[in-house]
Amino acid sequence: MSGPSPPAPKSRGGARSERHLRASVDISRIRRGGGNSFQSNPVDTVACLSINEGQLEAGKNTSKIAPFWARGECSMPGTQIRLGLAWSTATAIVLAFSCGGQNNDGAGDGSSDTDVNIDLDGSAGSEANPVDPGTEFEVCSGVTEEPENTMAPADIVFLVDNSPSMRDEILWTRQNMNSFSQMITDNGIDHRIVVISCLLDGCEEHTNTVGICIDPPLGSGDCETSDTDLPDYLHVDVRMPSQKLLERAVDTYSEWQSMQRSYALTHFVAISDDSEEMSADDFREALAALDPPVNEFVFHGIFSSLSKDDACAISSSEACCTYAAPDGEGVQYRDLVEATGGVAADLCEQDFDPVFQQFAESVIAHSELNCEWSIPAPPAGEELDPDLVNVEFTSGDSSTDFGYVSSPDECGDLDHAWYYDDPRDPKQVLVCPKTCDYIRSAPLPRLAVTFGCETVEVTEML
């Protein structure tokens, strides 16, 4: 069979040129026409390769392994690999590769044997005819980089009661907010914080309300106009009256929705000495009805364990007899904490430093493996071609390929699919929601990104 001649390997001083080829070939990347199957009969086959010598000596082969396989000898000079195929119904076979080279000055061939594992897709056991001479195959050997795993980000929304009885609690919240944020940062978790509460005392013409302002580095420290410091901190300047914190959180969603990320876990932190009018069930239903919805969240709170009336009925020395509102037991907050696995702290104890540490520890504990990865830099001298990228997932000793979808809208229930953050100018690889669940349930998960081979779409794998 005829074909384009690859460059002949160079020799040193007329001596034979030896090549040591190591390879791992995925059968799904070896195609005959539009199919994915090899022939099942034993065949003595020669693969004619076009290999860049510099890449081979560097331990990398990013070129395509030659556009044809045939019985007998290659009709061109270059590296030849004789394949002794012993097909079976097993999930893997071993090929004995005998590599030889021809140089420009007619020096002798060199050879070395290398075992190469090939993973099958289950089709090898079917009856078929031997490979015809001249049948075209394409095997791509790309360069693989492993991006760094990170923890999933967290979006944290503080709901702070502005009642005049909350002055001390608001001061302590302000004093602890930066250490809370820093502890999460120190554990490698990207997070955003929203505070929904008055910025200034006397907001919305309620002269007795108490405002809250967050100092640098989390907030801007501008306590006159706005302490918002995007992209990590947003202050929604709205009055939060007693018993309406949950309602106001839902009503102001359009103002803080931009801080919510679909791949981040939301945390709510309510701080109040009073009870709440909206029930826990109504709050969950209202969040689920938002666009986009907030379906998964963890709820935390600093609230009264007893109402003032109930505490005083026990003893005037009860802490909640002093610090809780008359009907201030935080029943709805407690229900949400228990339902979502959050942290509940008793406002009546008036000890806030350890509470904010517990909040931070809970945010850290709830953070799972992030399901987005920054695309590693391509090999030196190469440019990223979005159409020549593939993703492989490894857990322990097992691995599987993920297929590409053009957008998250195509994910559906696919549990082995990925997409770009921006197909025109990709910076990240993200996986579909069901795929994310699959990854997080696997032990020792790792993702590998391979450059240089035509992207396999998920439709080709179904």
Q: What is the pLDDT of residues 193-234, one digit of tens each?
A: 999 999 999 888 888 899 999 999 999 999 999 999 999 999
Contact call for residues 461 and 392 (beta carbons, < 8 A): no
Q: How many whole angstroms separate alpha carbon 116 and alpha carbon 137?
A: 18
What residue ranges do the domains of the chain occupy? 25-141, 154-366, 372-460
Asked whether residue 37 carries a pLDDT value surpassing 70, the answer given is: no
Which residues face 5 on adjacent strands?
none
Taking domain 154-366, whether its CATH number is 3.40.50 is answered by: yes
Question: Would the CA dihedral through 259, 260, 264, 267 be positive or negative?
Answer: positive
More confident residue, 206 or 426: 426
Q: How many whole angstroms separate alpha carbon 86 and alpha carbon 39?
A: 11
Contact call for residues 419 and 407 (beta carbons, < 8 A): yes
More confident residue, 126 or 227: 227
Asked whether residue 122 carries a pLDDT value surpassing 50, the answer given is: no
**Whose CA is closest to 52, among 2, 9, 111?**
9
Compute the average pLDDT of residues 74-87.
33
DSSP letters along 193-243, please? EEEEE-SSTTGGG-TT-----PPTTTS----SS---BTTTEEEEE----TB
**Range list of β-strands (E), 102-220:** 113-119, 139-140, 143-145, 154-160, 191-197
**Whose CA is closest to 180, among 412, 10, 352?**
352
More confident residue, 209 or 117: 209
pLDDT tens digits along 351-365: 888 999 999 999 999
Written as six digits, the tokens of 72 are: 């007998």
Confidence at residue 185, expressed as pLDDT on a 0 to 100 scale: 94
Q: How many whole angstroms separate alpha carbon 426 and alpha carbon 436?
A: 19
In degrees to the nearest 10, what's the CA dihedral of 402, 387, 408, 396?
20
Q: How many whole angstroms separate alpha carbon 305 and alpha carbon 319?
A: 10
335 pLDDT band, cuts 50/70/90, is very high
> What does DSSP assign to residue 424?
T
Instruction: Supply the pTM of this predicted model.
Output: 0.59
Q: How many whole angstroms separate alpha carbon 170 and alpha carbon 188?
A: 28
Written as six digits, the tokens of 439 are: 């990854």
More confident residue, 241 or 381: 241
